[in-house]
Structure formats: structure tokens, C-alpha cells
A = this chain, B = another copy of it.
Amino acid sequence: MPSTVTDLAVRARAAAFDLAAAPRGAKDAALLAVADALEAAAPALVAANAADVRRAEEAGTPAATVDRLTLTPERVAAIAADTRHVASLPDPVGEVVRGSTLPNGLELRQLRVPLGVVGIVYEARPNVTVDAAALCLKSGNAVLLRGSSSAAASNAALVAVVREALGKAGLPEDAVQLVPADDRETVQQLMRARGLVDVLIPRGGASLIRTVVEGSTVPVIETGTGNCHVYVDEAADLDMASRIVVNAKAQRPSVCNAAETLLVHEAVAAEFLPRVLADLADAGVTVHGDEAVRGIGGDAVLPAGEKDWAEEYLSYDIAAAVVPSLDAAVEHIRRWSSGHTEAIVTGSQAAARRFVQRVDAAAVAVNASTRFTDGAEFGFGAEIGISTQKLHARGPMGLPELTSTKYVVTGEGQVRS
């Protein structure tokens, strides 16, 4: 299977072997050099980005998307600062995860090692290009960056700066490579580069993620789909509950850890719903409710159906239903959840315990907003994405999640009998 991507991956693989043996000092020095180089190149980076922005505007791209695409000198400085921050984080490589001496005297150690070559497929956000490169470099991985064609000029300029700085710092330039984005086929080639690419991380919309998950022979880490629920229990502090619901929905509705459905225990529905509906309305949120919710909220509440329970609105919309019990809330969540973050508001220890135990998600929040499921909020320093699958990593993925392990068995001639 010769292809553009195969060539890039073979070179990345060679670079990854060198990078795996690079000590922390060399990697951190390279990251700091990258940060300096980005700042020094800011005018050129902004100029390259302007071409992408102009094309996007001419194509009628939505303003929010154009904003995410845009680089300014301040944003380049912020990207450089993020890179310096990654340099300051602990190096996961070489950490002894477990170790023991076996009865036959063999010394067993399980060490963290880089995954090898990481592929990332993402949308038109140039900051992801550098963030992903920095995280992969710090964790000793080579990275194949497959961004969006609409950010092609920005990404080419950024990757050229990063590679040059790497080379000057004595690390292999091929550890960071841009996969051409002008052809959809390159995503397919990444998906089929089994044995050359160790993991593929799709970041972006649901359809991209589904395509990669279903078609890839390279192992995939699924990220980012969040159909998150807030369940307000009969034993909830209703002031707290309304604050959490509004925050979870409206503080930043376009992100995966925003709430999409409110479930209210019927015992507190009559008291709670009028209050939370008013607070949501004040925050500019449209509610799509079941009959019980509409019975209280009236015509301001739009009718909700299965489509609403399934939907990740990512907008100022929320679905709402009244449930007869905690177990019914759990059942609803089991049916519709994407396994990202589920929250309960309750003063009952027993209810909190049952909800935590029975809800199957990357994160379960008790008396806290769903919005906290985030690498920075969790104190991981940086994240490459939020895994909603169960294998390898679940929830916010920091540097340790970009590693595998290796057992080292040291003896003095032991053989098996």
C-alpha cells in the first residue's frame, strides 16, 4: 500500500524510535525552542493564516468557525505559552507503573513508554496543530497531523516553524509531520496504516468520528461526543440545582461537556420546574420538554420527542423530562447517554452513591456542573481530547494517556522449568 501517508508514517516511525530514547531535558529544551520560534514567526504565521481566513469568508463559512480558524499575534503568543506549559509538565515516559521481585528472583518493572506514532484528524483550529505536536513530543511520540484543508496555509506555516525548531534543538524533524489535507483519501490512508500508526485520534464532529471509528484498522481513541444529563433528585437543594443546570447548559453551550438534557424527579417537579425554566429563559435557553414539563412551563416549552433525547444540541437548547424515580433517570441516561458526563444534584448520600454506581460514563458529577470534565479543570495541565470510549483511556486525556507500557524482566540467567 504505497501512498503519501505511508511515506510520512515510515519517516515518523524512524523519528519515533529516536524520540522514545530522548531524555526529558532534550524534549523540554525543544519545546521551549518551539515556543520561542513561534513567537518570532508570529507576523509570518498571521499572514499565512489570513489567506485561510479570506478563503473561509469567501466560502461563506459561519462566523464562529472563522473565529476558531483565525490567528492573531495574541493567539500565537497564547499557543507559545501553552507549549511552554507542556514543557513544564512531568514527563510520563519512564515512570515505573508497577514493579516487584518474583519468587525466582526476577525483577519485574512495568515502565511507561511512548505509543510510537500518533495520528490526529481534526478540524480548522490551528492551535490544535501546535497543542497536539507539543503533547506528542513531550510524551515521546511522533505525530501525523491531518488538519482541515481550510486551515492548510496556517498549518503548513506552523508545522514548518515547529520542525525547524526541533531540528535546531537536535530532535528529529520528522517527529512532527503534516498530512496533506487537500484530499479526503489521506484520512483513509491514515485509517489503514496499521503497523505504521499506533493510534488514531479523531477530533471534531460526530460524522468524522463515526467514519474513523467504523473504518479504521488502526486502533482508534474516540473523543468528544457529549450527550450529557443533569438529574435533579427529590432530595436536591433546588437553588443549587438551578445554578448547576444553568451553568451546565449555558456557560458555554458549544462544547462536549455542556448539558443537553435535564431530568427532574416528579416529587420536586412542581416546585423546581417553574424556577429552573425562568432561570434558563433568563440565560437565553430554549427548553424542549415532555408533557409533564410542558404542563408546568406552558407553550414557552417546545414539545420534545426521541430526537431531543438523542440530540447533542451544542446550542442554547435543552431537553427536559420528569422522571418518577432515580432509577428511571438512570434508565433514561443508559438509553441516551453518550457516556461523557452525567450529573446528579442531591442531598442524599444513598442517592448519590446509587447514581454514581449505576451510571456508566467517563465522568459522574455529584452536586457539580458537567462543565468540569476537562483536562485543565482536572489538573492534568493539558489534554489531547476527551475519550468517550472505555478502552485505554476514558475521560480527559493528558500526557500519561499518550503512553503505553513495557515490562522489563531482569535476571541472572533464569530459565523456566
Interface residues of chain A, those whose CB is within 8 Å of chain B, are 17, 20-21, 100, 102-103, 106, 108, 110, 113, 115-116, 194, 198-199, 213-214, 217, 219-221, 237, 240, 243-244, 246-248, 251, 334, 352, 356-358, 360-369, 371-373, 377-379, 389-392, 394-395, 404-417
Contacts and interface: CB of A to CB of B under 8 A. Distances in A.
List the 4 closest A-B pairs by CB distance, nearest first.
A368-B411, A247-B415, A390-B404, A240-B413
A214 B244 CA distance: 44
Oligomer: number of copies: 2
B213 A377 contact: no
> Of residues A116, A219, A390, which shows the largest number of chain B Cβ atoms within 10 Å of its Cβ?
A390
Given A367-B411, A413-B240, A415-B369, A199 B391 contact: yes
Given A391-B392, A415-B371, A408 B240 contact: no
> Of residues A100, A103, A219, A364, which shows the largest number of chain B Cβ atoms within 10 Å of its Cβ?
A219
A407 B243 contact: no
A368 B410 contact: yes
Given A361-B406, A367-B412, 16 more contacts: A17-B358, A20-B360, A110-B395, A221-B391, A240-B413, A246-B415, A248-B415, A251-B416, A356-B408, A363-B409, A366-B408, A369-B414, A369-B416, A371-B415, A391-B404, A395-B405
Contacts of A356: 408
Contacts of A352: 410
> Of residues A100, A368, A412, which shows the largest number of chain B Cβ atoms within 10 Å of its Cβ?
A368
Contacts of A360: 17, 20, 113, 116, 406
A409 B357 contact: no
Given A17-B360, A108-B378, A391-B392, A244 B366 contact: no
A248 to B, nearest CB: 8
Contacts of A194: 213-214
B17 A408 contact: no
A390 B357 contact: no
Contacts of A21: 357-358
B411 A116 contact: no
Contacts of A198: 390-391
A406 B362 contact: yes
A244 B410 contact: no
A367 B413 contact: yes
B243 A415 contact: yes
A133 to B, nearest CB: 20
A198 B394 CA distance: 13
Given A20-B360, A362-B407, A413 B368 contact: yes
A410 B367 contact: yes
A217 B221 contact: no
Nearest to A111: B356
A159 B366 CA distance: 40
A215 to B, nearest CB: 8
